[in-house]
Amino acid sequence: MEEEKVEKPKKEKKEKKEKVVSDWHSLDGTIFVRNISYEMKEEEFFKFYEKFGALRYAKIVKQKDTGLSNGTGFLKYKDPKLAETLLEGAEDSSNLLYDLEVNGRTMTLQKALDRNTISQKETEE
């Protein structure tokens, strides 16, 4: 008796999927905020900046050992164009629509940068 060779079905090659960075982790539309009042709570921080447009999140950075605010935070707008508009408006101190003073402290804004970009800038200096 001669054995019949049975061919195994060939596995289809899977197409490589592009790695997609979720919008949540992207820095588009993210702003770094300095000089936040130490008394400001995250809900208050969120509501204050929500008046400029829909936010994904507003996060105040806290000290690891005490849990108290360190006076900085991050905002992420759902529409990155809103963040750009806010940054541009905040640069113009005569623009009263962007009065960023709360509890006697004027908050300053800048576009958020990722850690790699910050490291590169530090080594260049």
Query: What one-character DSSP code corresponds to residue 25?
Result: T
Q: Furthest-apart CA pair in the chain: how many Å?
A: 96
Expressed as residue numbers, the domain containing 56 is 30-110
Asked if residue 44 belongs to a domain, the reply is: yes
Q: Evaluate whether 32 touches 110 at the Cβ level (below 8 Å).
A: yes
Q: What are phi and psi of 89, to 5 degrees?
A: -65, -35
DSSP 51: T
How many domains does the chain divide into? 1
Residue 72 lies in a domain: yes
- Digits of tens for pLDDT over the chain (125 positions)? 556 666 666 666 555 544 444 444 567 889 999 999 999 999 999 999 998 899 999 999 999 999 999 999 999 999 999 998 888 887 766 555 556 888 888 898 888 888 777 677 677 76
CB 75 within 8 A of CB 33: yes
Burial label for 120, CB within 10 Å (0-12, 13-18, 19+), is: exposed
pLDDT at position 96 is: 52
Write the CATH number for 54.
3.30.70.330
Angle made by CA atoms 103, 109, 111, in degrees to the nearest 5: 155
* Domain contains 50: yes
Rg of the Cα atoms in the chain = 24
C-alpha span between 24 and 30 (Å, rounded): 10
In a domain, 9, yes or no: no
